[in-house]
C-alpha cells in the first residue's frame, strides 16, 4: 500500500529502464544487421516492462485478467508519427571500435554491411496518455557493447518543493528518492533515501536500503525458460504475450522504424558511442532537455564488493 498510493504522476517524476549488454553482435551479424536494437530489444523486452509498470491492478493474477490490463497499457502509449517527433524523442547509435581493447566497430563485425545504418543502441522517451501517468516520461535505453550487463528500472520520485538542507560546502546534498527494481543479474530492489549525518549541523547523507536475493537462492531458482516451459505444459498463459499485445507493441515501434528507414542520409541521426560506455552523449541530452539525467550507480559491482568484504 505504501507504493500503490504513490504510483502516479502526482509523486513520480520519471521512470528509467536500462537493458545493457557488454557483448557485441558476435556470431549474429547477418541476423542483427536486418533487425537492430529497436526490433530486437525495444519491441518485446522493453515494452513488456513498460506494460507491467503502467498497467492497472488486474482483477486477478489469472492470465486473461493480466493480459487485458497489459493490452490497455500498451494502447495508452503515445505514438510518434512525424520525423520531428521521432528525432526529438528517440535516438539511435552504433558502437565504435576500441583497438586498445581489441574491440571491433559494428561495421567491422563479420556478416555486417560495411555501410550499415543498423542501430546497436536505442534511447528514447515514452509518454503514456492515461489518467495515472499523464506527464511522466519513461526513459528507455538498450544497447550492445556497453559498460555492464544489467537490467534494472529506476523510479524517481519528485523532490521536495523547498529544500531546507544545505547544498553548498557539503559532501552530499539531499537527492530525490529512487526505487530501483533489479531484474538481472541481481534480483531484488533498492531504495535511495536521505539521512542526516551524525553530529552537529544538518548535513545530509544519501543511503541505500536494499533487498537482493543471494546467489544460493538464485542458483536454486528455475531459469526463465524452464518456468515458461512448465507454464506451457500447465496451460498457464500469464507470462506469454497475447497477439493483441504483440500487435500494439509493433504498432508503436513501426512508427519509429518507418521514419528511420525513410532517412536515407542518416549522418545526422545515427550517432556513435565508445565501446564499453553507457551510450552516446546524445542519450544524455535526451534527458537533459527535460531537466533530468540518467541515474547511474553500479549496484551489481557495489553489492559484489559488499559480499566479498563480508
CB atoms within 10 A of CB 197: 13
Q: Which three cell numbers stand for residue 296?
A: 547511474
Q: Which three cell numbers stand for residue 29?
A: 551479424
Q: Which positions are catalytic?
A: 45
145 SS3 class: coil
Class of residue 125 by CB neighbours under 10 A (exposed 0-12, middle 13-18, buried 19+): buried
Cβ-contact 139, 146 below 8 angstroms = no
The vertex-241 CA angle with 15 and 238, nearest 5°, equals 90
Long-range contacts for 185-190 (Cβ within 8 Å, ≥24 apart)? 185/149, 185/150, 185/300, 186/150, 186/152, 186/212, 186/213, 186/299, 186/300, 186/303, 187/212, 187/213, 187/218, 188/212, 188/213, 190/299
289 SS3 class: coil
The vertex-57 CA angle with 161 and 226, nearest 5°, equals 115
CB atoms within 10 A of CB 148: 16
Question: Taken in order 16, 19, 23, 26, is the CA torsion positive or negative?
Answer: negative
CA distance 103 to 116: 18
Amino acid at each position: 500500500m505504501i507504493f500503490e498510493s504513490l504510483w502516479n504522476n502526482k509523486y513520480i517524476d520519471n521512470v528509467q529502464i536500462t537493458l545493457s549488454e557488454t557483448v557485441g553482435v558476435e556470431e549474429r551479424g547477418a541476423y542483427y544487421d536486418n533487425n537492430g536494437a529497436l526490433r530486437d530489444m525495444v519491441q518485446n523486452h522493453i515494452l513488456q516492462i513498460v506494460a507491467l509498470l503502467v498497467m492497472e491492478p488486474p482483477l486477478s493474477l489469472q492470465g486473461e485478467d493480466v493480459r487485458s490490463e497489459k493490452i490497455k497499457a500498451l494502447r495508452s502509449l503515445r505514438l510518434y508519427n512525424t520525423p520531428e517527433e521521432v528525432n526529438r524523442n528517440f535516438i539511435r547509435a552504433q558502437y565504435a571500435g576500441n583497438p586498445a581493447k581489441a574491440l571491433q566497430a559494428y561495421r567491422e563485425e563479420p556478416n555486417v554491411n560495411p555501410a550499415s545504418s543498423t542501430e546497436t543502441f536505442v534511447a528514447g522517451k515514452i509518454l503514456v496518455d492515461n489518467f495515472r501517468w499523464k506527464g511522466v516520461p519513461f526513459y528507455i535505453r538498450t544497447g550492445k557493447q556497453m559498460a555492464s550487463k544489467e537490467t534494472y528500472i529506476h523510479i524517481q520520485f519528485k523532490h521536495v518543493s523547498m529544500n531546507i538542507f544545505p547544498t553548498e560546502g557539503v559532501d552530499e546534498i539531499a537527492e530525490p528518492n529512487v526505487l530501483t527494481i533489479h531484474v538481472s543479474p541481481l534480483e531484488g530492489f533498492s531504495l535511495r533515501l536521505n539521512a542526516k549525518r551524525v553530529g552537529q549541523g544538518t548535513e545530509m547523507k544519501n543511503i541505500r536500503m536494499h533487498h537482493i536475493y543471494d546467489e544460493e537462492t538464485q542458483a536454486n531458482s528455475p531459469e526463465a525458460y524452464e518456468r515458461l516451459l512448465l507454464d506451457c505444459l500447465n496451460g498457464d498463459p500469464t507470462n506469454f504475450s497475447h497477439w493483441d499485445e504483440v500487435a500494439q507493441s509493433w504498432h508503436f515501434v513501426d512508427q519509429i522504424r518507418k521514419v528511420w528507414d525513410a532517412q536515407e542520409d542518416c549522418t545526422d541521426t545515427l550517432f556513435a558511442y565508445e565501446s564499453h560506455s553507457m551510450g552516446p552523449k546524445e542519450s544524455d541530452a535526451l534527458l537533459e532537455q527535460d531537466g533530468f539525467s540518467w541515474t547511474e550507480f553500479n549496484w551489481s559491482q557495489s553489492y559484489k564488493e559488499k559480499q566479498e568484504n563480508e
